[in-house]
Amino acid sequence: MPQITLTTLQSLKLKGEKIAMLTCYDATFAHEASQAGVEILLIGDSLGMVLQGHDSTLPVTNADMAYHVASVKRGNKGALIMADLPFMACATLEQTFANSAQLMQAGAHMVKVEGAAWLADSIRMLAERGVPVCVHMGLTPQTVNVLGGYKVQGRQEAQARQMRADAIALEQAGAAMILLECVPSELASEITQAVKIPVIGIGAGAGVDGQVLVLHDMLGLSLTGRTAKFVKNFLAGQPDIQGALQAYVKGVKDVSFPGPEHGFSA
């Protein structure tokens, strides 16, 4: 696969072609996923749960993230590498800059931060210094204690209006991408149309520019035995993991995934 860049992703949005993104934490899966056509490999702080066995993402450190970014980089064959800034890694501008630099030096092409319009100063600072930023909005796992649990966000009109305004403000601040998690499908579509940058969804319906799933979820693996509504097991019916990865990319590209059953209403 030719090297995927932000220009590539912007072109896909303009053409209306969906973007396939998956979490990834090691060299072997990076090789397999990028060979299958996954355009973005996300080293998510979800590794705290699926790899380390924690009950949330909060214990993950920036050093943990950098280790897995470097691992993914070694196996990657052309995908864009995005890395999460973990809990409290961007509490101040100084921390944001230092931790982002560590992840970029480890091999990331872009960092992802959780939050809303209050991140504008951090995003502007990073963009000015050559660090592209994806902003994770909606259900943000790092703030799950404030949100009161893993709940769909944006169902109330005032909250939906604020989320749309925040997305526009973040784009103006220099954000290169937005990720929406557990947001009503109609609202996610409205936000996607309101901004010029790519919008990726997880539990946000099919009206966004692309989809992301946790690798282990799309392979039907779970420590808890619970499956989120927006998850589909792509290994079912496939001969091997490479087949599952290709089925995921195809499902995203031909918009057969996500189906209405994977999304949320207002």
Q: Which residues are annotated as a binding site?
A: 45-46, 84, 112, 114
CB 46 within 8 A of CB 52: no
DSSP H or E stretch at residue 151: none
- Binding residue positions for 3-methyl-2-oxobutanoate: 45-46, 84, 112
Alpha helices in 107-223 (DSSP H): 120-128, 144-147, 157-173, 185-194, 215-218
- Is the Cα dihedral 30, 137, 196, 231 positive or negative? positive
Q: For residue 211, how far is the Cα from the chain centroid?
A: 8
CB 228 within 8 A of CB 247: no
**Residues designated catalytic:** 181
Residues facing 213 on adjacent strands: 22
- Binding residue positions for Mg(2+): 45, 84, 114
CA torsion angle for 86, 19, 216, 222 (degrees, to 10)? Answer: 90
**Helices (runs of H) and strands (runs of E) counted in the chain:** 11, 8
- Residue labelled with tokens 């901004």: 195
What is residue 221's three-state secondary structure? coil
